[in-house]
Amino acid sequence: MTGNIIFIDTETAGLGDSDPTIQIAAIVTRDWQEVESFERKIVFDPKRVFDPEALIEINGFAPDVWAAEALPADEALRDFVGFFEKHKDLELTGKTGGSYKVARVAGHHITGFDIPRINRGVKHFAMFWSAQWWYPLDTYQRAIWHFAELGLEPPANYRLVTLARHFGIDTSGAHDALADCRLSMQLARKFATWEGSQR
């Protein structure tokens, strides 16, 4: 596959739609090499989190780090869409016949989780996200096809860390948005390399 692929990930204060996004990240890759990375922590009120212990345990929330680095959601999202604008290189044809460019977006379980969340955010702040989010490259779906087509016993679940460990990928730092972008990229590369070796 030629051109840029941008792997994305968000970390949240919970799994509900109303729970705040606390971190957003992306990496631009070309030919399975990281070209540039992006990460922003986002201001939120920890007192309004239903399970503050899980926030620290699962998502690695560190109050001191967030106090020093976190930005308001609109600023973080503005930087995020600017990152996509900088790296869009996939040319598409619009309904009227004109051409325009977007960025090819990828990640793990982004179809059902990250993309709807990001879309709500950019819509709320009246921004435009130059990503081909309607046809994402999702390693969650790819993993399901992989094990089903080959008749292989799947791992206990299709979570990113579970799949990464299954394929021998180091999961140090998982549940940080930027680290998870890199894990998703490595997982996608595993599938691509495996399938390429079968041809």
Task: State pLDDT tens for residues 90-105.
Answer: 999 989 999 999 999 9
pLDDT tier at 193 (50, 70, 90 boundaries)?
Answer: confident
pLDDT of residue 199: 46
pLDDT of residue 123: 97
pLDDT tier at 23 (50, 70, 90 boundaries)?
Answer: very high
The CATH code of the domain that includes 92 is 3.30.420.10
pLDDT of residue 19: 83
> What pLDDT, in 10s, does the model give residues 106-140?
999 999 999 999 999 999 999 999 999 999 999 99
H or E, element range at 99? strand 99-102
68 vs 2, more confident: 68
- DSSP secondary structure of 89-155: -EEEE-TTS-EEEEB-EEESSIIIIIHHHHHHHHHHTT----B-TTS-EEHHHHHHHHHHHHTPPP-
> What pLDDT, in 10s, does the model give residues 45-62?
877 776 666 676 667 788
Specify the number of domains making up the chain: 1
Q: Is residue 196 over pLDDT 50?
A: no
Tokens of 129: 């996200």
Q: Is residue 197 over pLDDT 70?
A: no
Residues linked to residue 9 through DSSP beta bridges, in sequence order:
25
> What is the average pLDDT across 12-26?
87
- Identify the residue whose tokens are 């020093």: 68
> What pLDDT, in 10s, does the model give residues 137-184?
999 999 999 999 999 999 999 999 999 999 999 998 888 999 999 999
Q: Is residue 14 over pLDDT 50?
A: yes
User: Contact at 8 Å (CB) between 26 and 181?
Assistant: yes
Q: Which domain, by its residues, includes 135?
A: 5-197
> Whole-model pTM?
0.93
